[in-house]
Amino acid sequence: MSRQYHVAIVGATGAVGVEMLDVLERRKFPVSKLTLLASPRSAGRTLKFRGEDVPVQALGPDSFAGVEIALFSAGGGISKEYAPLAVKAGAVVIDNSSAFRMDDDVPLVVPEINGADVKNHGGIIANPNCTTAITLMGLYPLHKKFRVKRVFATSYQAVSGAGAQALEELRAQVSAIEAGAKPEVKVFAHQIAFNVIPQVDVFVDNGYTKEEMKMQGEGRRIMHLPMLRASVTCVRVPVYRAHSIAVSAEFERPVNVAEARQAIEAFPGVRVVDVPAEKKYPMPLHVAGKDDCEVGRLRLDCAMDNGLAFWVCGDQLLKGAALNAVQIAELV
């Protein structure tokens, strides 16, 4: 009989936590016992796992007794406070927040790209930023073929990336506008319905946002490419689920589209959808709920030498979060 594990999900009632539960079941992860942890206000709720109701418990210092794998998705503050406690109790923590991503002694992992880094963990493994993970699923196979030097990218990020309340805000604003009422703005700085907001996360000293700088910082760690340069603009768009990124990348070696397409097609976890004449290209509507990312609009970049432009879409709750975390757990 194969080994079974006591698994905990921290932030189990959140958007990513619910997806983690589904991915564990769908991928038949060997769970012997499941502990669902959330804030006290969610305690007492139940969530379905393998046809059974599992109660949600209030997260506390003693929540990790016997836990072997702890999937965290409850924000950086919770991770910083409770992940060390989970490790001390004997668990391997896979953390979905930004709390540990840039720590030198914490592996930052996309399994298809740098899965071998998992073996260097000291109890905590970090899950990357969702936009970064989806972008790299398209970029890394091209990097292996042509060696990437720098990247220019613009993201088109779904509201669910900002949590369940953001999702509800878009729905409520659309309904209000259709009814002729004034839409209420709470989660975002501006109305998101029928609008785009060129800010995701807070601004830093160089004029970029923290979200925009993650692609360079995290991309360097994941791809083991300390000289990577990335100029990114992150935009929130009125899409419920799945992020899209327009990328122009410059490479060291001469590039061609046919070889680029072959490199992506051969890479696990990503599909090429690229028949412009038939209006076939990746769209968030089509990748929502799917494990694989999709790449299309592949073309030579006409503004730089050895440049390729492409468009990549992926479900940020899956490859950008829950799926990637469970894949890391599978490696562990």
Q: pLDDT at position 1, please?
A: 47
Q: What is the pTM of this model?
A: 0.96
Integer Cα distance of 125 and 16 in angstroms = 17
Task: Tell me, yes or no, if 190 is annotated catalytic.
Answer: no
- What pLDDT does residue 163 have? 86
What's the Cα-to-Cα distance from 326 to each of 76, 134, 277, 302, 314, rounded to whole Å? 19, 16, 37, 39, 16
Which residues partner with 34 through β-bridges? 7
What is the rounded distance in angstroms from the CA atom of residue 131 to the CA atom of residue 215?
8
With 0-12 CB in 10 A as exposed, 13-18 as middle and 19+ as buried, what is 94?
buried
Q: What are phi and psi of 284, to 5 degrees?
A: -55, -35
Q: Which residues contact residue 290 at a Cβ distance below 8 angstroms, ignoring those fewer than 6 apart?
A: 315, 318
pLDDT at residue 164, as a whole number: 84
Domains of the chain as residue ranges with CATH: 5-128+322-331 (3.40.50.720), 132-316 (3.30.360.10)
Residues of the chain with pLDDT under 50: 1
Catalytic residue among 121, 243, 293, 313: 243
Of 6, 130, 143, 313, the catalytic one is 130
* Catalytic (active site) residue 243: yes
Nearest partner of 15 among 168, 213, 150, 139, judged by Cα: 168
